[in-house]
């Protein structure tokens, strides 16, 4: 049987690849469970400092698998806790997760990319929330994360008209961090991930937690959270090493302590 989720290790980076080319990487339970298991493994591996989630050249993921869910009734969706049960593992990852998106990122695919900490897009990427076309609404965060990323006007436009947004517009709107020529997407994303993985992991995790707090709290609460984390950083050996290395004009060697 084809493995619908593949993993590789590149130095200190764990790569997760969605692999259902016949269905444009449509997301079913096997795929989502596979991504969750891969994240579990990379989170537990102390040699890994950053995770990259990607698809194929043609599709990051064209959405939740429509065939899989077309006969669901309300009670089934509710009782099996559809989506929440396994999709949210990306959100709870403590190490940074970068989505490397080429081709279609639609519906649940766009939502999954937005669950990651940032999106690097190939110039071929197309983002959309076309659920309205098939009689449902975005249900894995699209109506909430999209307006936070690109504002109400464009989020409404995408969710209500089902139009796709190309990579250039997505970058201009703030949905993606970088647009990269398609042929270099993985290489460039892995390079950025290696940079992150070369820093102190506890500091990287504190930064991720603090930035995420900006979306969950008032400015004052967020600033307080940041300040506490900042003070805590002075308890790390890596802070001593980082500052000593700067003073001694050498490269820091972090030990994640
Ligand atoms: N599901 C299942 N199969 C899909 C698929 C999908 N989302 N998208 C594509 N495929 C399959 C096609 O059926 C086709 O299979 P065969 O016919 O060859 O067997 C194959 O992938 C190639 O697709 P096309 O022949 O259509 O390729 P094109 O290049 O012509 O078109 C396309 C590409 C991406 C524009 C088109 O495939 C398309 O419109 N796909 C559907 C996109 C879509 O509507 N995505 C949103 C799905 S709904 C929930 C939370 C979240 C969700 C649901 C519930 N709860 C909390 C309850 C999420 C919902 C969604 O994501």
Range with the lowest mean pLDDT among 79-93, 196-210, 219-233? Answer: 79-93
pLDDT at 223: 98
pLDDT at 11: 98
> How many Cα atoms within 13 Å fall on the side-chain side of residue 183?
0
- E runs forming strands in 74-187: 97-101, 104-106, 118-122, 126-128, 165-166, 178-180
Q: Whose CA is nearest to atom 1 of ligand 1?
A: 65
DSSP annotation of 1 reads: -
pLDDT at 2: 84
pLDDT at 86 over 90: no
Give mean pLDDT, residues 20-32.
95
Please give the C-alpha separations between residue 229 and each of 104, 198, 208, 243, in angstroms, as whole numbers: 37, 20, 11, 17
pLDDT at 27 over 90: yes
pTM confidence score:
0.96
Strand order in the sheet with 59-61: 59-61, 104-106, 126-128, 165-166
Q: Whose CA is nearest to atom 17 of ligand 1?
A: 23
Question: Which residues, in sequence order, are bridge partners of residue 27?
Answer: 64
The set of residues, in sequence order, having a beta carbon less than 8 Å from that of 69 and lying 6+ positions away, is: 77, 82
CA dist 204 and 37 (Å) reads 22
C-beta of 24 in contact with ligand 1 (< 6 A): yes
pLDDT at 81: 82
Helical residues (DSSP H) of 151-213, grouped into ranges: 152-161, 167-173, 185-197, 201-213
CA dist 97 and 170 (Å) reads 19
Share the mean pLDDT of the chain: 96
pLDDT at 159: 98
pLDDT at 84: 72
* Distance from the first to the final alpha carbon of the chain: 42
SS3 content of the chain, % helix, strand, coil (to 5): 50, 15, 30
DSSP annotation of 235 reads: T
C-alpha of residue 151 to centroid of ligand 1, in Å: 26
Atom of ligand 1 nearest to the CA of 65: 1
pLDDT at 1: 72
Contact 53, 99 (CB under 8 A): yes
pLDDT at 124: 98
pLDDT at 77: 87
C-alpha of residue 249 to centroid of ligand 1, in Å: 53
C-beta of 108 in contact with ligand 1 (< 6 A): yes
Give mean pLDDT, residues 82-89.
81
pLDDT at 178: 98
* Percent of all residues in the chain with a pLDDT value above 70, rounded to a whole number: 100
Residue 85 confidence class, pLDDT cut points 50, 70, 90? confident
C-alpha of residue 65 to centroid of ligand 1, in Å: 6
pLDDT in tens, 114-166: 999 999 999 999 999 999 999 999 999 999 999 999 999 999 999 999 999 99
Range with the lowest mean pLDDT among 85-89, 94-98, 181-185? Answer: 85-89
């Amino acid at each position: 049987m084809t493995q619908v989720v593949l993993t590789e290790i590149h130095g200190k980076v764990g790569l997760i690849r969605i692999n259902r080319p016949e269905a444009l990487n449509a997301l079913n339970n096997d795929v989502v469970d596979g991504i969750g298991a891969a994240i579990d493994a990379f989170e537990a591996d102390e040699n890994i400092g950053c995770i990259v989630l990607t698809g194929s050249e043609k599709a990051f993921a064209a959405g939740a698998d429509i065939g899989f869910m077309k006969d669901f009734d309300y009670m089934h969706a509710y009782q099996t806790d559809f989506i929440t049960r396994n999709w949210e593992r990306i959100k709870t990852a403590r190490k940074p997760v970068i989505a490397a998106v080429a081709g279609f990122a639609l519906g649940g695919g766009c939502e999954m990319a937005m669950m990651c900490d940032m999106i690097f897009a190939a110039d071929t990427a197309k983002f959309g929330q076309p659920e309205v076309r098939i009689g449902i609404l975005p249900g894995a965060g699209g109506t909430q994360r999209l307006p936070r990323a690109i504002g109400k006007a464009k989020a409404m436009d995408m969710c209500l008209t089902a139009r796709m947004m190309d990579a250039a517009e997505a970058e201009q709107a703030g949905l993606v961090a970088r647009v990269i020529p398609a042929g270099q997407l993985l290489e460039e994303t892995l390079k950025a991930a290696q940079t992150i993985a070369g820093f102190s992991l506890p500091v990287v995790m504190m930064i991720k937690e603090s930035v995420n707090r900006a979306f969950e709290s008032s400015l004052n609460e967020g600033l307080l959270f940041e300040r506490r984390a900042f003070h805590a950083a002075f308890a790390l050996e890596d802070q001593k090493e980082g500052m000593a290395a700067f003073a001694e004009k050498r490269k820091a060697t972090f030990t994640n302590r």
